[in-house]
Structure 1
């Protein structure tokens, strides 16, 4: 796939961005002041839209388990207004928010031993939408039963996994197996999946694009780029992972029959070690990330998940970043994670990764040391900090509520996100049977619901090339070989696969030492 050709395709769909000559005119802002429409095929996810119908054939996390209390939880997912609750028998329900009787919101309903009761007239609905009770007058029980059988509240099947609530919002007859990626997500003994959910004030796709943009840490996450040194200890500098600030060689490879994308990056730690990080982007909105705090100080092969996350559309101009942080000594070999900061609207890594700015820092002052000030003053202080040291959140939401692809001018290092967009488009249009919703469902069934991930973090003991040309050749050979080995291992499971990958990585390292 050519970045240039895909870019031209996007501009053509949006009506073009104007003559190139005029766009390049000095002080020629006038010739570039029209904003084309966004790309509805990929960005809009409401009922009946191409992407919305595709997404509804997959399981998505909709909230955290901790959000289900003794009152219902109002949600908006894929532009639908929903209510999630846990009834007193422990079952989780995800229903349409507006009561099928007269439209009152079930967010004000009363949770029952079985189901939920609408506050307006007392209709009770089960987690599958069945009407369990209609409050007709005494003596009219048969009429009440008849009425109850004539209505049903819109409902979606829900399951819980490790502190997250997932829902399937598609046709019941097309429900796919719930994908247990590698069964237990390859969490090592002593490690755990810690759930989190963070709101993103923009379209889902630009959040997902960011996960495939492996080049941006070079600038966005570098402390050296903080304005005049006003704000130190930012992003990867927070945890001392300077290797993440090195411009990487990248290799983006569609894998698993075009259902996912392996995003492999090679960064030179020092003259003796090469850090190779493989992120895994899975259609339509799942991404699996290797260790974000790797400093490359020790040899390491096939380190697995540090972050597992879905980018879930709320509506077309808002989304959720929701998933798990893997915490513990197995993955976090440097011990820099903070479990107490992982949860609802909070995360422990990368200042500016989400809307939250750590409350204890307002400029050089601690919050408790600041005199009482108006809320807007406080907000201005946070905004100023974000201007000094912007993070992913600021960069992503500032692309407009819905990014306009036709105005982009990509470089070769943007190839990952353009490749992923093309894979999405092929899936939605039915150009790739394997990545269709039906193709995914059949694949999950064949694998017993437990597909493998290509996600891995690796530190090779490979000396730097004697020349720039030799170094580039060496890095690119490693990248290509790593993805090839992971591909060859995809039919294996568990320890067998891990042993195979590590043995082959060891052989690759030795071959480079002999070269």
Structure 2
């Protein structure tokens, strides 16, 4: 992966030429002119390259608890929508503006079947069919004829474990709903707990953060907090503080360039090595292994802990929406808090969301939650955020749309730059396997349930006798882990888990010598 070449390409697409810099003390004048953003990757409205690519996939658009007795206004992929559950229990996702005269259906009345516009009483079904037109008595035939001539824009929607998903692409190209590894859970007793966190910035910089496996070394290290002023579990979240250790990273495009395996090795102590593999899937899905691993004992092929999509709202706002996997199968330390996982709240890393918790919500109603100020500097907890910034602050402060032409990457940024390149290849068609049509075929070939590379592993591998040997061991382990996971691609379920664990055991033995 040539970071410089992809950066130059970003600069060209963003502003038509490479930015020249003068390395001069107090030379702010020479860097004060801000080039444009990268439209190919960041803009997602109808008709844009990335917008059309994203519309070929299923995306979560809201939580089920957001569907109450009134419609829920949404903005997704720059489109204004309303979501609702009608009296028969069906979920609808419709264009917000009534096809008759443009009044918003967010003020509509939910019916037993469909939704009624407040302005003139048109009723639309969840598929957009006009069910009723309020013509005067005696004009029923004319009303029926008019109803057959109009249709409200609608998208197919399904519910899964507290989330509402919509497919916003061409109806005749609808892909299978992706049930990764069957239903996104692996261990018995594990539960998918839905959450949704608003992000006041472009979708890509939120997704970039998931592929940036180096930032916890600084951002989540308690030693870097101003005057020790931090709260909750934001910092030193790994019990052995291994997240403060700079990882050796190995990034590999897998599944024919449809996804990226991000394997990072960190030393827990002199006897154990923690290797966490995150899985980034085009265009906007990421699967994360256990975030609270203390590395206290050997553990092989621990699986999903966070499953999340980064969904564009518009070009300057997005949602982090998905599931926190909870239960004894994954939360081996028993420290997750289900009551803190939901709408605009999460139980891990205080700084992940716009609102830092003033209290523990427990059971709550949406209307009881405090509003999120549109300007993050107007938040009541702004000073706390300055003392102990989290992912939210680091991500949104890159500007509403990060300017790629101004970045100066290092080798530890390789993961996010590689993922950006994979996105470009998919959008441009230079990787046919990652095209929307081939992605859908791949899902069908896997019965909608492909395997994930996501895993957390603690090996009983002692520290190398020299720095050089230790570095070589860590890099060797990460490469071989990804190779083993690739080798297991044709296996499923427990058969795959057994195969991988046996191979990991052999890997451990070979490194120990």
- Normalization by structure 1: what TM-score? 0.95
Hey, what does 1:12 align to over in structure 2? 12
The Cα of 1:356 is off from its aligned counterpart by 1.7
The Cα of 1:490 is off from its aligned counterpart by 0.8
Separation of aligned partners in 1, 2:231 and 2:98: 51
Hey, what does 2:244 align to over in structure 1? 245
More displaced 10-residue stretch of structure 1: 112-121 or 229-238: 229-238
- Does residue 46 (structure 1) correspond to residue 45 (structure 2)? The answer is yes
Question: Does the aligned pair in 2 maintain the 1:17–1:32 contact within 8 Å?
Answer: no
Hey, what does 2:337 align to over in structure 1? 338
Hey, what does 1:280 align to over in structure 2? 279
Separation of aligned partners in 2, 1:389 and 1:345: 19
Indicate the SS of the match to 1:352.
helix
Hey, what does 2:418 align to over in structure 1? 419
- Does residue 474 (structure 1) correspond to residue 473 (structure 2)? The answer is yes
Separation of aligned partners in 2, 1:485 and 1:101: 57
- Does residue 2 (structure 1) correspond to residue 2 (structure 2)? The answer is yes
Separation of aligned partners in 1, 2:291 and 2:235: 8
The Cα of 1:240 is off from its aligned counterpart by 3.0
Separation of aligned partners in 2, 1:48 and 1:512: 52
Indicate the SS of the match to 1:276.
strand
The Cα of 1:239 is off from its aligned counterpart by 5.8
Hey, what does 1:304 align to over in structure 2? 303
Separation of aligned partners in 2, 1:344 and 1:187: 25
The Cα of 1:15 is off from its aligned counterpart by 3.3
Separation of aligned partners in 1, 2:161 and 2:315: 28
The equivalences for 1:344-493 within 5 A come to 344-360=343-359, 381-493=380-492
Indicate the SS of the match to 1:150.
coil
- Does residue 65 (structure 1) correspond to residue 64 (structure 2)? The answer is yes
The Cα of 1:233 is off from its aligned counterpart by 5.1
Structure 1 residues 26 and 506: alpha-carbon distance in aligned structure 2, compared to 1, 3 A threshold: same
Indicate the SS of the match to 2:182.
helix
Separation of aligned partners in 2, 1:380 and 1:134: 46
The Cα of 1:11 is off from its aligned counterpart by 2.0
Separation of aligned partners in 2, 1:301 and 1:186: 16
Hey, what does 1:365 align to over in structure 2? none
- Does residue 221 (structure 1) correspond to residue 220 (structure 2)? The answer is yes
Separation of aligned partners in 1, 2:510 and 2:20: 51
Q: Which digits, 9 at most, give the CA deviation of each residue in 1:290-332, with x for residues without a partner?
A: 0011111110000000000000000000000000000112111
The equivalences for 1:231-242 within 5 A come to 231=230, 235-238=234-237, 240-242=239-241
Separation of aligned partners in 1, 2:264 and 2:238: 20
The Cα of 1:380 is off from its aligned counterpart by 5.8
Stretches of 4+ moved more than 4 A in 1?
A: 378-381
More displaced 10-residue stretch of structure 1: 301-310 or 4-13: 4-13
Hey, what does 1:370 align to over in structure 2? none
Hey, what does 1:98 align to over in structure 2? 97
Indicate the SS of the match to 2:213.
coil
Separation of aligned partners in 2, 1:498 and 1:271: 27
The Cα of 1:216 is off from its aligned counterpart by 0.1
The Cα of 1:403 is off from its aligned counterpart by 0.1
| CA-atom RMSD in angstroms | 1.4
Hey, what does 1:130 align to over in structure 2? 129
Separation of aligned partners in 2, 1:103 and 1:392: 39
Q: Which digits, 9 at most, give the CA deviation of each residue in 1:397-429, with x for residues without a partner?
A: 000000000000000000000000000000000
The Cα of 1:284 is off from its aligned counterpart by 0.2
Separation of aligned partners in 2, 1:15 and 1:171: 33
Question: Does the aligned pair in 2 maintain the 1:243–1:294 contact within 8 Å?
Answer: no
The equivalences for 1:126-165 within 5 A come to 126-165=125-164
The equivalences for 1:80-119 within 5 A come to 80-119=79-118
Separation of aligned partners in 1, 2:9 and 2:237: 40
Separation of aligned partners in 2, 1:270 and 1:452: 31
The Cα of 1:19 is off from its aligned counterpart by 2.7
The Cα of 1:344 is off from its aligned counterpart by 0.5
How many residues are matched?
Answer: 497
Separation of aligned partners in 2, 1:338 and 1:192: 12
The Cα of 1:238 is off from its aligned counterpart by 4.9
Indicate the SS of the match to 1:301.
strand
The Cα of 1:132 is off from its aligned counterpart by 0.5
Separation of aligned partners in 2, 1:117 and 1:111: 6
Question: Does the aligned pair in 2 maintain the 1:353–1:391 contact within 8 Å?
Answer: yes
Indicate the SS of the match to 2:236.
helix
- Does residue 325 (structure 1) correspond to residue 324 (structure 2)? The answer is yes
More displaced 10-residue stretch of structure 1: 337-346 or 187-196: 187-196
Separation of aligned partners in 1, 2:241 and 2:355: 23
Separation of aligned partners in 2, 1:393 and 1:11: 25
Q: Which digits, 9 at most, give the CA deviation of each residue in 1:360-399, with x for residues without a partner?
A: 49xxxxxxxxxxxxxx9x9665111000000000000000
- Does residue 78 (structure 1) correspond to residue 77 (structure 2)? The answer is yes
The Cα of 1:188 is off from its aligned counterpart by 1.9
Hey, what does 1:367 align to over in structure 2? none
Structure 1 residues 149 and 10: alpha-carbon distance in aligned structure 2, compared to 1, 3 A threshold: same
Separation of aligned partners in 2, 1:466 and 1:117: 73
Separation of aligned partners in 1, 2:33 and 2:335: 46
Indicate the SS of the match to 2:195.
strand
Question: Does the aligned pair in 2 maintain the 1:45–1:53 contact within 8 Å?
Answer: yes
